[in-house]
Structure 1
Amino acid sequence: MKQVTINIPEKKFPFFMKLMKSLDFVKVVEPSKTLEEQLTPGQMETWQNIKQGFVELKMKEEGKLKGRPIQELLDEL
Structure 2
Amino acid sequence: MTAADNERVKYVANAFDRASTSSLTVGVFAPIAAAIYAPTSSVGNIWVLSIAGPCWLFTAGILHFVGRFILRRLL
Could you state the TM-score of these two structures normalised by the residue count of structure 2? 0.32
Higher relative contact order (CA 8 A, sep 6+): 2
How high is the TM-score relative to the length of structure 1? Answer: 0.31
Q: Which has the larger radius of gyration?
A: 1
